[in-house]
Amino acid sequence: MTASSELSRNSELSRNIARRTVVAAAGGASLAVALTACGGSDETTVKTGDAPEGGSTGGSPSGDSGGGGGKEIAKVADIPEGGGKVVGDVVITQPKAGEFKAFSSKCTHQGCAVKDVSDNVINCPCHESRFDASDGSVKGGPATLPLPPTAITVDGGSIRLA
C-alpha cells in the first residue's frame, strides 16, 4: 500500500467515525428530550373543595378548600354517583355522594382511552381492563398498573383541574 492510499484510507475512516459520533450524539440528545417530555409528575393528591349541597368533602384530610384555580372541566351535576365521565385526558368519578376523584383517562395497558364508568368501575374498551373508580387500582387485566391520579378541585358546582 502506498503512503498516498494509506493517507486516503485513514482520512475516510476518520470521516466515518466522526459521522457516527455526530449521529450517535444527536440520537442521544433526541432521546433525552423525548424522555423528559414523557416524564410524569409526582403529583398524587386529589384536592377537593366545597362539596355540593348535602354532600361531604372527599380527598384531602387536611381540609384543603381548593380554591379552584384551574380550568373547569366538568360540572358536579354531570358526574353520577357510582359513575363518572371521561373529559379529554381525565376521567372524573364520584365513588360516593360528594366524593370526586380524577385519573388519567389513558389505560396503563396500551394507552387506549378509557370509555366509561359504571358501578364504580372505569372500563377500557380496547382489551377490557377495569379500574376501581375510588382509587384507580386495577380490578381486572390485562392492565397491571393503576390509573395515575389527576389533581382536581371541587368548588361549588364546578370541577376544575388543580
Per-residue model confidence as pLDDT tens digits over 50-85:
333 333 333 333 333 344 468 889 999 999 999 999
pTM above 0.75, yes or no: no
Q: What CA–CA distance (Å, rounded) separates 83 from 98?
A: 12
Name the more confident of 92 and 30: 92
Residues in the chain: 162
Using CA atoms in the order 55, 59, 63, 66, what is the torsion angle rounded to 10 degrees? -90
pLDDT digits 0-9 by tens, 100-132: 999 999 999 988 999 999 999 999 999 999 999
All three cell numbers of 24: 450517535
